[in-house]
Structure formats: C-alpha cells, structure tokens
Amino acid sequence: MSTSLYVAPAQVTILPSTPQLKAMMSIIRDKNTSRADFVFYSDRIIRLLIEEGLNHLPVVEKAILTPTGMEYQGVEFQGRICGVSIMRAGESMEQGLRDVCRSVRIGKILIQRDEETALPKLYYAKFPPDIATRFCLLLDPALATGGSAIKAIDVLLEYGVPPERIVFVNLLCCPEGITALLEKHPRIKIVTAEIDEGLNEKKFIMPGLGDFGCRYYGTNH
C-alpha cells in the first residue's frame, strides 16, 4: 500500500514532516548507522513524540500573575499522567517521558507471542494502583500487526482505564496496524512520527528500520 494514497483516520496524529524530522528518520532507518547515533537520534524523535502526545491531554484555563504584576491567561494540565511501556522496546521511550514530566509514574507490560496459538499473550503487568484515574501514554516504538498494542490496551481497559484516556505513542506504524488497532479500540488516539507503506509476508514494516529494540540496546535478534 502506498502511503501517498493512504489517508490516516482522525484518531491518528503524524508529526509534521519537517527537514529536521526527515533527517533524523533517515539516520535511524539507515542500516549502516552506528548504535550510538541510532540511540541519540531515536531519543530526539521520542522527545518530539512525547511532547505531541501530551498535547492530546486535557487542560483547564488558569490565570496567573507574572513577576511584572500583570495577569496572564494560561492553562494547566487536568489530571495525572502515567506512562506504560510495552517491554522491552517500549522501555527505550521511558526516559523521553521522564525528561518532560517530573516524577511521572511508569507502568510496564510484557507481551510475547504464544508458541502454540501464535497470538499475543500477557506475561507481566505492573501499574500504579490508581492507574484507572490517570491519563496513559502507551509507549512502543512500532505498530506493525497491532497484536501487542491491542493486547496492551485490553489489559489497561481491564484495569479500569477509560479508552479515551489512552494515547498510543510510537515512532513508526503502517496502515494494517492502524486499521487493526482502531477496529478493536476506535476511541484510542495514536501519535506517530511516520506511516510506512505496509507489511511484508513476514509481517515486518516496510521500508521500516529493522528491529528497534535490538538496534537501540545493541543486542542480536
């Protein structure tokens, strides 16, 4: 599927394709990029994604006084935030969230493919006890088939998090993954850096960037 013909649903926000972002995406997609550069530029992109993700959280008006004694009509965040990373690649995005949200609580979900059923299976979930009252940024670098993200959202809903309070933040996704996720969870918001052409026969995003977790942490497949 050509992304030039693909129109993303209203629930999807794509970062503006600025020269800076395009250059950074070119670096992390390049198979010859060193691990140090991959981590550095991935972290920069993650920071942009987190900032955009926060823009989708509600605010309320707030008037404050400046040091000059004049009033400024501003806003403040409404409610508390929780980051939830899908282990292990999603953990690479935690620092970007901590950089912009002081003392933010972070939960973790471990989902792996079941050898017998080939379906995503939950192995571990640890959240703040009050997660049902928080706005959740779900963190995972890629949205391919959507299986892991759908399962992670299922778990958050089981813990009482309203779907409209979940924002799924990722660096890269494809039309197939977006369609699968929104068919199951249409009230979820997605924030991404780029949408690729689609999946190949092995269910890898194309043109993609390889295995994000392996490249970020310097491990083999």
Q: Model confidence over 157-175: pLDDT tens digits?
A: 999 999 999 999 999 999 9
CATH number of 12-217: 3.40.50.2020
Dmax (CA) of the chain: 67
Q: What pLDDT score was predicted for residue 115?
A: 64
Bin 149: left if φ > 0, else alpha if -120 < ψ < 50, else beta.
alpha
Whether the bond between 165 and the residue before it is cis, its omega within 30 degrees of 0, is no
Residue 33 CA to residue 42 CA, distance in Å, equals 12
Tell me, what's the pLDDT at 1? 46
Taking the domains of the chain in order of start, what are their residue ranges?
12-217
Please give the share of the chain, as a percent, with pLDDT higher than 90. Answer: 84
- Does residue 28 register a pLDDT over 70? yes
Give pTM, 2 decimals.
0.91
